[in-house]
Each structure stands twice: as C-alpha cells, then as structure tokens.
Amino acid sequence: MAGPELESLEQCLEKHLPLADLREVKRILYGKETRELNLPRKALEAASEKDFELRGYAFEAAEEQRRGPRIVRVGLVQNRIPLPTSAPVVEQVSALHRRIEGIVEVAAMCGVNIICFQEAWTMPFAFCTREKLPWTEFAESAEDGFTTRFCQKLAKKHDMVVVSPILERDRDHGGVLWNTAVVISNSGAVMGKTRKNHIPRVGDFNESTYYMEGNLGHPVFQTQFGRIAVNICYGRHHPLNWLMYSINGAEIIFNPSATIGELSESLWPIEARNAAIANHCFTCAINRVGQEHFPNEFTSGDGKKAHHDFGYFYGSSYVAAPDGSRTPGLSRNQDGLLVAELNLNLCQQMNDIWNFKMTGRYEMYARELAEAVKSNYRPTILNEYLTSAPACQCGKGQLPLPPTNAFKNVPDGF
Amino acid sequence: MAGPELESLEQCLEKHLPLADLREVKRILYGKETRELNLPRKALEAASEKDFELRGYAFEAAEEQRRGPRIVRVGLVQNRIPLPTSAPVVEQVSALHRRIEGIVEVAAMCGVNIICFQEAWTMPFAFCTREKLPWTEFAESAEDGFTTRFCQKLAKKHDMVVVSPILERDRDHGGVLWNTAVVISNSGAVMGKTRKNHIPRVGDFNESTYYMEGNLGHPVFQTQFGRIAVNICYGRHHPLNWLMYSINGAEIIFNPSATIGELSESLWPIEARNAAIANHCFTCAINRVGQEHFPNEFTSGDGKKAHHDFGYFYGSSYVAAPDGSRTPGLSRNQDGLLVAELNLNLCQQMNDIWNFKMTGRYEMYARELAEAVKSNYRPTILNEYLTSAPACQCGKGQLPLPPTNAFKNVPDGF
C-alpha cells in the first residue's frame, strides 16, 4: 500500500474493464479523451535505452476564424535520484545534470517547447532529516549558479524554455535560502524566477525551518510559446495561489512537487485538475518517483520508530486541461517524460463557456478577506437563539434553551 | 454517453476489478475507505417499497482526550420530478412534498440529524426554457411560504435540521426572485436563509435572467449538530466561495445542485472534493437525477435542433471529507438517500495536520485581489524583452527581437 506495487491506475483499469465500461469510466473520471501522440520512433528507442517511460498526449480545441491554433508541446520530467544520498554533493548534482540532459535530448526529439523538472531537482528531498549540512550545500544562485548555467545551455541548444526548480541561495539578501523556480527562455536568457509561496508544515516536510514563504508574488512569464507560471508543490493545496497566477494571465501553470503516497496520493488527481477547471488554464502536476534513503535515521512525529527513508514518491505526473480533461499519469515507479501537446486557444474558449472569471465576484472576496484577517473579525454565524447576528432571518418558534453541543451518538443498526 | 446507461462508477469497478487491484484503485481514487453503515432493516425495506436507493457510510476520526466524538448523520436526497412539467403548478409542488416526506421518514429511521434536498427542489429545473410562466409561480417566501411551513413540520416531527433550497419570491424587496436555501432548525424554527452567490452563464442554465447574485454573503448556521453552510450549485466552481464559508466556521458545506452529464460529469467528482480538502471540512454534493421534458421546444445555443429536454441529470450525490476521502456516489439513474455519519472532530484534526488556514496568506491575497479588480491593474508579466516589468530578474543573452506569437506547429510522428 502506497508503495511501488501498482504500476499505474490507468493501466490497471485498461487491463480489467470491458471496452464499453472502460469508455464510460474514463469519461466520468477523465472527461473528454486525450489523443495519444504518435511520437518519433527514435525518441521512443532512446527513452527505452535510457530506461525511462515516454508518453505523449494531445488536447484539442475548436477552430477559430481569427486565430490559428496555438500549439505548444510541454514536457514534464519525473526522476529518481541516480546516486545514493551519501555520495559527495558535487557528484550527486553532476549525476542529476547528466540524467536530465539525456531526458531533455529525447524531449527535443519530441518537439517539446517548454520543459519543467521536479521540485528541487538537483538534490534529494532531504528536508525530512532536519539536518542542515550537507543538504544546504545543494543551494545555488538562481541567476548564475552552476545549474542555471547548465539549463541555459540546454535551453539554447534545444530552443526550449526550461523551468528549473532549485534550492536557491540568495547572496544579495543575507545569503538566505528559498525554494525557487528559475525560468529560462529558449534563447538561453534567464527570464526571471518565482518562489514557493506556501511552505508546508506537515509531517516530514520540515521545509519551514529551511526557507520562508516566497516574496515575489505571482509573476507570469511571457515566453515565445505562451504565458506560463510556476506554483511550487504545497502551493497546489491553496486555490488562491492558482487563482492569482491565472488572474495575471497564466495559460499553463507548472506544479513541480515532491510528495509521498501515504500523505497525499488520493489528493493528487484532484487538486491540480480542480485548478485547471477553476482557472480555465492548463496545469502540469509533476511529482518525484521512488524512495530516497538518508545516512542518519530520523523520526517522523507519528509515534513510529526512527528510520532512514522519506516514504514513497509515487510519480504519476499528469497534465490537466481547462475543460477538466486530463492525461493518464506517468508510472508510479519509473523515471518518465510526459509530452503534452496543448492548444492554448482552449483556455479562452473554456473561459467564454464557463465564465468563472466573469462571475467570480473578486471585489466582494477582496473585501471579505480583508475583513476576515482582522483580529476583531466576527464571522457571520446564525444561531436560532441569538437574533442579533448580522443578516439573521430568525423565524418563529424560538426555544428558550441555549444551543448545546450534545451530539446524538447513533449506533449502527439501532 | 452521459445518459442513464451506467448505474454508477463504483459498481462498475467493483464488478470487474480483482480484489487486490480494486483496493489499490479505491485508495488512489477515494483515499481512506469509508465504513459501510449497517442501516436498520425497516429503513431499507421502506426505501425499497418507495423505490429509492438507500446507502450509508461512516467517516471516522482519531480519539481525543478533551472532546468526545462529535457524531452527526447527514442525509442527501436526490430525486426525479414525480409529475410531468405540464401538470398544474400546485399539483407538481404537492407531489414533490409527498415524495420528500416519504424519503425524510426513512431518513429519520436512519437517525439523520441534518437533511438537505436538491437545488430548487419544489420544481422542475425549468430555466432552460427561458419562459417565465408558469415556472416563476413555483417561487415562494423563504420565511413563511407553503414549502417552508411544510419543512418546519418535518423538522419538528423528526427532530431534524432541514436545508430546503427553493426559488424565493422576496416580497419585501420589490418581489424579486432569488435562488435560496432556507435552513430550518430541528426545533422547527426558521434559522435563516442563504442565497446562491454565483449565477451561471453557461449553456441552458439561463438563470441570470431569472435571479441575481446572492446578497447575503457567507452565513454559517450554528445548528445543534454542528456548523453548516450551503454553497448552491454553480458556486462549487468558485474556490473562494467555499473558502469564505469555511473561514466563517462551516464544518459541513452542502452543495445542492442541478447539473447534466454532457456539461459537467467529469468535473463532479473533483470540485466538491477539492473543497473538502482545501478547507478542512465536509462537503455534500447533491445532484438531481433523470430527465425533465418541457411542453415547448427550445434551442440551446449549440447549433443543434430545438428539443424538449434539458439533458440528463446524472445523480451521483456524494460526501467528501477533510482528509480527501469520499463515499461512493448514489446511482446515476434512481432516486436516492445517502446517509453519512461524520465525526466532525476530523475537521480540526485535518486542520492541525495540513495547516492550510495557517499557511493561507490571506492578507496577501486580500491585497492582491483588491489590486487586481482595479481598472488600471497591470498584472506581473515578465518578458525577456521588457526589463521594466516589476520584480523582473532578466539575465544575460537578451535578443533584440520582440516576442512573437509564432507557435511551432509540430506534426505527429515527424
């Protein structure tokens, strides 16, 4: 359970369901079916040689008279760490660079225009240990660190926008750490960076002792291939985070993540997809894969014995579209590259059909939220015994008793 | 497709998947399994006699030292309209009252403490017709209309909180219409009302020509059995609507709806469940079931021929919990009562584990939203050719060319 046993949900359904039922189940679970891409044979062969899964799907949009189709191919990369966490830092980073370089080459063969790697991709997800060294040695400058320069070369060579989520050392502001994604243009130029806005305080995700909530707001990057934003990991649990990227114009929001089976696997298919629906945009959910072991044992605040591993990263990276449809997930236990061809016209088309932005009443919510954060805020709670509550429409038949918290305990089969 | 063919997703999976695979698929799709309730035999017999589905599930929570379990049973009702839409208005309402009375009796046998009916439950969902008469004759006073008085009797008789979503005629404010839910205490007193905050402007949901966006904010009702709120139908697409009910203290948010297969069926399992996760509360998604035919034909703005029906209401009502788990859905093609036993302690427990409220940064969003609605708002868009954008971290290697919208059209299998 929550380990590597199951290859993928979709493969399991495809294996067992009769075709007519499978079609209905997929319609309800996934919406309109995505077309499988016919990827180049040499790319498939290279992926197989390099031992990673390669899959491709396309989302269609209706034809328009005044715009041609706005087709972009995105690549989502999920990967294990190639070396043990006890290897020297520089060797671990180099091995990750080599691994990613190989995957990006295959992405280029598949015509990928924008590629995004997993959260903190140059390191093991070591925050579970609560140790600072050697893990903070993986931090780099976003603007001109070793990894950013590596990604600039990749971007220029392959004419590909690269989204590179790293642990950032901010030398210009006291040398503090951030969880950051660097966005590099297909020209090779660093377009800018964006930071993780919400830092988890849950389980072994002890990230709040390593870095603070991002201070760069909700920037959107106008690339040659469309407007993109990056909502890093735990930010996917916060609908307002997605919303602000969308209000700022993002057509594709990447969500590079690192999350484990026991904590979040049943939430994984829900949150990024809900964000695509609610914001009329594409979302790209990327998770790590496999298990990472650490040299020193640690406990997890759950009453269990000390151990050396963080739990199982279940992969399952996927893309969701503004019409609520989605690709199948990548494998739960293999490195992988998911290529998705998006027609960005679908964003505006869904916006015009559903009109969530038009009906969003953001002025009301700006006002209500501003009130709600005040220390003297009194939420609107109607109580049949307190007729003074605001907007209360209390009716007849009021009883003289105060409300009780006496819940009825109803036994089964009474 | 999107019609009555499939009974339910869950029954289909249970029929075909081997047990071990089924367990894994359910874990990924639904999270922690809900326990099936052992409902009283007389209730099951009565449901069978009255020809509706009756199912019950329980959500558990951890034991606490300082609070006992806070157990509440909610009932979700989905039903067809019993009479044709051409029958006299009063007869249609009476038939619906009788149908609901029978279902509520069974709910009482099952120990239900709070029951919620479907959206505009006293009428067919006639807004697709764009006709005013006779449909607006279904509107009633929320405070002392025929239906509210009927629900007060039910509430008092069965010691049950009743959530009654109706078409409201507001005589005190020019006789305008609202889409409203009346909340009636188990004492029989009207606790108040709450109105649909977001009105659809999509497809045949021509509701914006019948009533306006609700003006009562986000009230929460302190019942004897817990704090409840009602997010009516299209409000479920708006994450901020759920959030404000939750900030105001709702532990259970009902979502009485009326929605059809072709439009929304693949979004249905996502949105209310995402809201339960994001807001650490229970959500109860209720949909109509079956097909409603109208006397005069109408078109749907989709290029298709005029027709007499609104599409297929797919039922599938369900309850989602703050830990992301959920019950199976009720049938896609049968009236039904879903009984769910909730331990409300789970809300605070999940709040303390995930901490979304603590990490929500609502001050920042109140500020950002207030800015975003201004007519002169300039979203933060970073462009490698415009270094003046706020917070821009543009790097080296800038090109002299302006950004193009020249998307690469990548053929399959190139």
B9-60 pLDDT, tens per residue? 889 999 999 999 999 999 989 999 999 999 999 999 999 999 999 999 999 9
More confident residue, B386 or B106: B106
Pairing of strands B226-230, B220-223: antiparallel
- % of chain B surpassing 90 pLDDT: 88
User: Alpha-carbon distance A254 to A233, whole Å?
Assistant: 9
User: Alpha-carbon distance B366 to A368, whole Å?
Assistant: 8
User: Alpha-carbon distance B285 to B196, whole Å?
Assistant: 15
Q: Which of A29, A201, A240 sits opposite B266 (nearest CB)?
A: A29
**What distance in Å separates residue B290's CA from the closest CA in chain A?**
17
A414: which chain B residues are within 8 Å (Cβ-Cβ)? 40, 111
Binary contact (A381, B190; C-beta < 8 A): no
What value does the mean pLDDT take over residues B386-395? 42
Residue A36 is encoded by which pair of tokens? 């499988």
Q: Average pLDDT over chain B, rounded to whole?
A: 92
Contact yes or no for B113/A408 (Cβ under 8 A): yes
Question: What pLDDT does residue B405 have?
Answer: 41
Binary contact (A382, B237; C-beta < 8 A): no
User: What interface predicted TM-score (ipTM) does this complex get?
Assistant: 0.90
What value does the mean pLDDT take over residues B289-303? 96
Number of neighbours of residue B245 by Cβ within 10 angstroms: 31
Report how far Cα B243 is from the mean position of its chain's Cα atoms.
Answer: 14
Number of neighbours of residue B136 by Cβ within 10 angstroms: 16
Number of neighbours of residue B408 by Cβ within 10 angstroms: 12
Question: What pLDDT does residue B401 have?
Answer: 38
Question: What pLDDT does residue A413 have?
Answer: 38
Assess whether pLDDT exceeds 90 at residue B414. no
Instruction: Report the Cα–Cα distance between both ends of chain B, in Å, rounded.
Output: 34
Binary contact (A361, B24; C-beta < 8 A): no
Report how far Cα A142 is from the mean position of its chain's Cα atoms.
Answer: 20
User: Alpha-carbon distance A179 to A118, whole Å?
Assistant: 12
Q: For residue A11, what is the enclosing H or E element?
A: helix A9-16
Question: What pLDDT does residue B1 have?
Answer: 57
What value does the mean pLDDT take over residues B237-259? 98
Q: How confident is the model at residue B218 (pLDDT cuts 50, 70, 90)?
A: very high
What value does the mean pLDDT take over residues B198-220? 96
Contact yes or no for B161/B228 (Cβ under 8 A): yes
What is the per-residue DSSP string for B223-276? ETTEEEEE--GGGGG-HHHHHHHHHTT-SEEEEE---BHHHHTTTHHHHHHHHH
Question: What pLDDT does residue A388 have?
Answer: 41
Query: Which distant-in-sequence residues (6+ apart) come within 8 Å of B122 by Cβ?
Result: B93, B96, B97, B138, B140, B147, B166, B167
Binary contact (A359, B221; C-beta < 8 A): no
**What distance in Å separates residue B85's CA from the closest CA in chain A?**
28
Q: Which of B327, B393, B396, B401 to probe the A interface (max A CBs under 10 A)?
A: B393
Q: Which of B13, B68, B395 sits opposite A189 (nearest CB)?
A: B395
More confident residue, B3 or B235: B235
Assess whether pLDDT exceeds 60 at residue B102. yes
Question: What pLDDT does residue B52 have?
Answer: 98
B267: which chain A residues are within 8 Å (Cβ-Cβ)? 31, 277, 324
Contact yes or no for B83/B91 (Cβ under 8 A): yes
Contact yes or no for A190/A143 (Cβ under 8 A): yes
Q: Which of A40, A113, A384 sits opposite B413 (nearest CB)?
A: A40
Number of neighbours of residue B221 by Cβ within 10 angstroms: 30
Reduced to 3 states (helix: H, G, I; strand: E, B; else coil), residue A320 is strand
What residues of A are labeled active site? 119, 196, 233
Residue A143 is encoded by which pair of tokens? 């603007």
Binary contact (B6, A24; C-beta < 8 A): yes
B362: which chain A residues are within 8 Å (Cβ-Cβ)? 240, 369, 372-373
Q: Which of A215, A381, A414 to probe the B interface (max B CBs under 10 A)?
A: A381
Chains A, B: CB pairs < 8 Å: 392
Report how far Cα A286 is from the mean position of its chain's Cα atoms.
Answer: 5
Low-confidence ranges of chain A (pLDDT < 50): 387-414
Question: What pLDDT does residue B400 have?
Answer: 34
Binary contact (A189, B240; C-beta < 8 A): no
Binary contact (B409, A69; C-beta < 8 A): yes
A311-324 pLDDT, tens per residue? 999 999 999 999 99
User: Alpha-carbon distance A197 to A362, whole Å?
Assistant: 20
Reduced to 3 states (helix: H, G, I; strand: E, B; else coil), residue B97 is helix
User: Alpha-carbon distance B285 to B321, whole Å?
Assistant: 11
DSSP structural state of residue B388: T
Number of neighbours of residue A149 by Cβ within 10 angstroms: 16
Binary contact (B384, A187; C-beta < 8 A): yes
**What distance in Å separates residue A87's CA from the closest CA in chain B?**
32
User: Alpha-carbon distance A132 to A138, whole Å?
Assistant: 10
Pairing of strands B35-36, B53-58: antiparallel
Q: Which of A368, A377, A401 to probe the B interface (max B CBs under 10 A)?
A: A368
Q: How confident is the model at residue B384 (pLDDT cuts 50, 70, 90)?
A: confident
A227: which chain B residues are within 8 Å (Cβ-Cβ)? 381
**What distance in Å separates residue A86's CA from the closest CA in chain B?**
30
Question: What pLDDT does residue A215 have?
Answer: 97
B218: which chain A residues are within 8 Å (Cβ-Cβ)? 368, 380
B345-379 pLDDT, tens per residue? 999 999 999 999 999 999 999 999 999 999 999 99
**What distance in Å separates residue A48's CA from the closest CA in chain B?**
17
Which residue in the block uniquely carries the two structure tokens 């295959």?
A: A106
Residue A336 is encoded by which pair of tokens? 């992988």
Q: Provide the edge-to-edge strand list for the sheet that holds B53-58.
A: B35-36, B53-58, B336-343, B71-78, B114-116, B161-170, B176-184, B190-195
Residue A268 is encoded by which pair of tokens? 């994984």
Binary contact (A394, B29; C-beta < 8 A): no
Contact yes or no for B184/B224 (Cβ under 8 A): no
Binary contact (B237, A356; C-beta < 8 A): yes
Residue B414 is encoded by which pair of tokens? 């190139």
Q: Which domains does chain A have, with CATH numbers?
A: 9-354 (3.60.110.10)
Q: Which of A277, A360, A381 sits opposite B222 (nearest CB)?
A: A381
Q: Which of A240, A277, A405 to probe the B interface (max B CBs under 10 A)?
A: A240
Binary contact (B222, A152; C-beta < 8 A): no
Report how far Cα A339 is from the mean position of its chain's Cα atoms.
Answer: 16
Q: Provide the edge-to-edge strand list for the sheet that holds B226-230.
A: A381-383, B220-223, B226-230, B252-256, B282-286, B318-320
Angle between helices A89-109 and A146-158 (to 10 degrees): 10
What residues of B are labeled active site? 119, 196, 233
Contact yes or no for A283/A273 (Cβ under 8 A): yes
Which residue in the block uniquely carries the two structure tokens 């003074």?
A: A388
**What distance in Å separates residue A134's CA from the closest CA in chain B?**
28
